[in-house]
Structure 1
Amino acid sequence: MKAYIFPGQGAQFSGMGLDLYENSPEAQHLFEDANEILGFNITDIMFEGTAEALKETKVTQPAIFLHSVILAKTLGENFKPDMVAGHSLGEFSALVANGALTFEDGLRLVSQRAIAMQKACEIQPSTMAAVLGLEDALVEKICADTEGIVVAANYNCPGQLVISGEIDAINKACENMKEAGARRALVLPVGGAFHSPMMEPAREELAAAIENTTFSKPNCPIYQNVTANAVINEAEIKANLISQLTAPVRWTQSVEQMIKDGATLFTEVGPGKVLQGLVKKINRAAETTSATIESAS
């Protein structure tokens, strides 16, 4: 069974999507639509912008979404997913790819999500840190025992967990992780505490936008971050999408469940190869590949 997986923030690079724009009239049309929907020329930043310009949240999230979704659309007949999943932001790309959301609605929601998250980050300084080489349960225990807001945010693969929360609590938790034997506990250069209770203002803002958006019955299940289970019911998809901003990304558990449900090939659709690397760390026997515009022709 074919699983298609969609990356999240951090996969962006200067020049992203230019090959799609130059080689596919459909891609060109979708990119131009995107400029109109967003009210600024995101294509200029994606194709020619600096890494710095691409790092701005209101640009990064739509840029990765556009690269992933437009690439999926150029695959044409070759794009026949049995199941999909996306890492954090990638969940929106996955929902367009499986027909639950239209391209336009997906892009609007991603743009609103980015702006809402940016605002939440400005309310109170917060951050995230990567913890390597500890069992999930021990990381969770140290977070629970640390004063202040600090939670497990991204279960990326066994032995690689990202924690999220208040700056002081994260710094303290990192010290405690190292004392407990973590190979590394490193604060990440991110704008705020994503997938933690500190994103509550953004969750409330996005909830209203999601509730007002029409979702269709998807043509294959999505394994959502919040539950790590196959979901096909539109109301359930919406509820999980709303919870996603303040809940952890259960990527390890999602991939394990997809394999249990019959996934044999994982195709990463979008910039970079981060998810393929994580899939291999979760299950060495899993076959992984990248979707390319060449595979569309």
Structure 2
Amino acid sequence: MTIHTSTDLRTTFLFPGQGGYDSDALRMAMEKYPQVQRVFERIDAETMSLFSRRISDVLLGARPTDLRELLDDDAWASQVAIYAAGLAAYEILDAQGVRPDVLVGHSLGEITALVAAGAFSVEDGVRIVAQRVAVIQRQNGVEGRMVALSADADRSRRLLDLLDDPMLAVATENHDEQTVVSGPGKTLDRVIAIAGQLGIGAIEIDAPFPFHTPALAPAVPEFAAYVSKLDQHPLQRLVYSPILQRYYEPDDALADRLAEHFVTPVRFAAAIRHLQAAGVDTFVEAGGRAALSKLVVRLTKGSDVRALPSLTVDGDGGLALDATLRVLRDAGLAGVAGAPGLAELLAPTVPADVFEAYWAEHGDEVLRRIADDLDGFTPEPAGTGRPSAQTPSPGTEATAPAAPAPAAPAPSSPVPSSPVPSSPVPSSPAPSAEAPDRTEIHSELRTLYAEALEYPEEVFEDGVQLEAELGVDSVKQVELLSRASKRYGLPTREAGFRLENYNTMDKIVDFVVAELSGRETVAAG
């Protein structure tokens, strides 16, 4: 990986550490963005293996669970929750076309940043987070807390010097008026008392252990040994470490660097100032709450820097991520970048926001498919009536019946409304020799939809409402209907096709049956 020069940088993702979890915001994101469920499916598999519990059951069950409750639960739950929320936010932003130039993590968030950059798999990220907790728990006598002081790092160190406790340390330097100290609980009680006498505010941080303190030194070698056994991959994105105060290099032994985090402070303020000087003007917080984005606002006050939250509830009770994406699109940092007019060309009747969401999630896949099709495409000789490159080999079923070649050039067909290009097929299917079996098609479609959505087949009864009852959003419905069309070799849908007219299973089955029968489809409104 080539280390960027300062002129290359503009956008940074920030991954929070302790406190970076907002239950309500995560639930809102789960309902709207499919990336959340996909991230949790992968993480659930690991937490089941490690703890016999699915973290999604803990976080997204019938009753909301806040961070304080998670801290009262097993220590791993709060740490995996923060990691999962950060990764989910990253995947949503990435699917929306936001491409960060550099990733930054705050303490625990540095693990999330390295996973997002490709250094470790999502599953290994869970293992690292869980082991980070386990090795600390195995150190007898490690007891302590973390407290935020409303003072700069120098003043905070002078306060700590008064107590002369070697296990007491400055853990994070957030900005000129906030420093987090870490150490034994009894000693921190004295720190809070002295701070009160000096007029320094003190607030306890929601953290299960006294991170970034010499008290954790015995855990360092065990943790490094564990992480060193995991597969480390080349970084696909630039990652800047507020702990190391530098970018990660290709030859870094990440097991050793992550182990050093136990005893080394987080100099977040210095990191933000370095990145701003390097040209970054947009900081997007990828994770719960908005603590880091608020810190950036304070650290860059008076500049034109943007600091944007994601998985937090805004002042109007909505998901802050939605407004953040609008800001990023307006700035040209998100959306269907580089493809002006694409929606008008491929899907003129599909709402712009639906197409943007679809293309952000599936655009790369669609483009790869087109490239693969073109690689193997050989036009048939004139007069064959088949635009497709491939002649089916014996025993292979063609995707659609061939249509006779027109005697003269056909008029331009309507622009297709589906955002999914399909392999070339005739403009209309030839009438079937016999009527298609509706029961058989219903059974096949139930299987197709069930496998794609990971639902039981029995839920796809004729009258079931896909969105209202099963929560299948319009983007996913477009994808599923395109899969069904491909499965039966149906023609590309013409302009005027309205997805809302096919919102139940029976209407989709009727649509497929009608198309296979060569009849014009009429759907109920």
**C-alpha distance after superposition, 1:217-237 (max 9, x if no partner):** 223322213222222334254
Matched, 1:50 2:69: no
**Aligned partner letter, 2:102:** M
Taking the aligned partners of 2:205 and 2:144, their CA distance within structure 1 comes to 11
**Aligned partner letter, 1:102:** S
**Aligned partner letter, 1:78:** G
Identify the residue that residue 244 of structure 2 maps to in structure 1.
Answer: 227
SS at match of 1:235: coil
Identify the residue that residue 71 of structure 1 maps to in structure 2.
Answer: 89
Higher-strand-fraction structure: 1
Structure 2 segments unaligned to the other structure (5+ residues): 1-9, 311-320, 326-334, 336-356, 358-525
Identify the residue that residue 175 of structure 2 maps to in structure 1.
Answer: 157
Q: 1:5 to 1:211 in 2, by over 3 A?
A: same
SS at match of 1:17: helix
Indicate the percent of aligned positions where both proteins have the same amino acid. 23
**Aligned partner letter, 1:258:** L
Q: 1:290 to 1:192 in 2, by over 3 A?
A: closer
Alignment equivalent of 1:13, drawn from 22, 25, 34: 22
Alignment equivalent of 2:191, drawn from 173, 183, 203: 173
Deviation, 1:25, is: 4.2
**Aligned partner letter, 1:44:** D
Task: Name the stretch that deviates more: 89-98 or 14-23.
Answer: 14-23
Higher-helix-fraction structure: 1
Taking the aligned partners of 1:78 and 1:115, their CA distance within structure 2 comes to 36
Higher relative contact order (CA 8 A, sep 6+): 1
**Aligned partner letter, 1:214:** D
Q: 1:17 to 1:114 in 2, by over 3 A?
A: farther
**Aligned partner letter, 1:166:** P
Aligned residues: 294
**C-alpha distance after superposition, 1:196-232 (max 9, x if no partner):** 0112243333212221122222233222132222223
Taking the aligned partners of 2:210 and 2:124, their CA distance within structure 1 comes to 26
Structure 1 segments unaligned to the other structure (5+ residues): none
| Matching of residues 194-205 of structure 1 within 5 Å | 194-205=211-222
Alignment equivalent of 2:228, drawn from 195, 202, 211: 211
Identify the residue that residue 141 of structure 2 maps to in structure 1.
Answer: 123
TM-score scaled by length of structure 1: 0.88
CA contact (8 A) 1:147 1:169 kept: no
Structure number, greater radius of gyration: 2
Taking the aligned partners of 2:179 and 2:116, their CA distance within structure 1 comes to 27
**Aligned partner letter, 2:247:** A
Identify the residue that residue 138 of structure 1 maps to in structure 2.
Answer: 155
TM-score scaled by length of structure 2: 0.52
**C-alpha distance after superposition, 1:159-205 (max 9, x if no partner):** 100111123332333344445x3431344454332110112243333
CA contact (8 A) 1:22 1:28 kept: no
Taking the aligned partners of 2:176 and 2:254, their CA distance within structure 1 comes to 26
Alignment equivalent of 2:200, drawn from 183, 199, 211: 183
**C-alpha distance after superposition, 1:237-260 (max 9, x if no partner):** 443211111111111111111112
Matched, 1:247 2:239: no
